[in-house]
Amino acid sequence: MKLVDGKVTVITGAALGIGAGIADMFAEQGAILYLLDIDGAKCEEKAAELRSKGYPAKAFRADVSDPAQLREPFETALKDHGRLEVVINNAGIYPRRAFMDMTEAEWDQMQDVNLKSLFHICKLALPPMMAQRSGKIVNISSVTFFKGMALLSHYVATKGGMIGFSRSLAREMGPYNIHINTVTPGAIKTEGEVVHADPAAIAEIQRRQCLDRRLYPADIAGVCLFLSSALSDGMTGQTLNVDGGLILY
């Protein structure tokens, strides 16, 4: 049996990297996909690739920091199916910046894209989930919250905020049978990592992991799949760390 068969699923930041990996695995496992990304062309490419394999997928250009742009994918999913089962909040940015060089605008942009987006998205996702008395929300945070990371103070602040938000919302939404969990990826080989991360630092991270290999989007997608399926029906408010054994807690 497919793990998310027929589940209406919204994935943010789905054009590339971890989000695209989640889209691939969820498609194979039967999800009906609504993919959104600030890069509308790349997002459409991903959806078209999935449709060419026979999987239902629609693409939307939307900036997660702009509530007006977020309405269309959610409204379309509800118009098409009258329900919304899964939301994966994956879109995020991670440009490095020394704190003393960081501008207020850079701090605010990080908060708006990585954290405040959850406010906008949950406002759209929760009403149908509350009405149907079921739903799964998975938020993609980062292992950097547990370690701290130089040059990423603005980023790590958002990733910790996501965990606090998820835990608190899980308490509010439990009575509606809505599950809200967080995944903290370690160093995952993605398009974004190639742009922003130092290869020597990545090699050092791999050396410190228990598992002596790179991690890929599919490693994160598998845990998101578990958290979106009935296999995790007894879990909410939890944080699952997927970092190859970099930190153990």
Ligand X SMILES: NC(=O)c1ccc[n+]([C@@H]2O[C@H](COP(=O)([O-])OP(=O)(O)OC[C@H]3O[C@@H](n4cnc5c(N)ncnc54)[C@H](O)[C@@H]3O)[C@@H](O)[C@H]2O)c1
User: Which chain residues interact with ligand X by CB under 6 A?
Assistant: 12-13, 15-19, 37-39, 63-65, 90-94, 113, 140, 142, 185, 187-188, 190-193
Q: Supply the minimum distance, in Å, between the C-beta of residue 247 and ligand X.
A: 12
User: For residue 31, which of 51, 67, 2 has the smallest C-alpha distance?
Assistant: 2
Residues serving a catalytic function are 155
Instruction: Please check whether residue 36 is in contact with residue 12, taking contact to mean a CB–CB distance below 8 angstroms.
Output: yes
Partners of 108 in the β-ladder: none
User: For residue 59, which of 72, 68, 79, 97 has the smallest C-alpha distance?
Assistant: 72
Nearer to ligand X, 72 or 130 (CB): 72
User: For residue 210, which of 247, 245, 184 has the smallest C-alpha distance?
Assistant: 245
Partners of 184 in the β-ladder: 241
Q: Supply the minimum distance, in Å, between the C-beta of residue 16 and ligand X.
A: 4
Nearer to ligand X, 85 or 112 (CB): 112
Q: Supply the minimum distance, in Å, between the C-beta of residue 12 and ligand X.
A: 6
Show the 3-state SS of 93-154: CCCCCCHHHCCHHHHHHHHHHHHHHHHHHHHHHHHHHHHHCCEEEEEECCCHHHHCCCCCHH
Nearer to ligand X, 172 or 198 (CB): 198
Q: Supply the minimum distance, in Å, between the C-beta of residue 179 and ligand X.
A: 20
Give CA–CA dist 148/24, Å, rounded.
Answer: 31
Nearer to ligand X, 13 or 128 (CB): 13
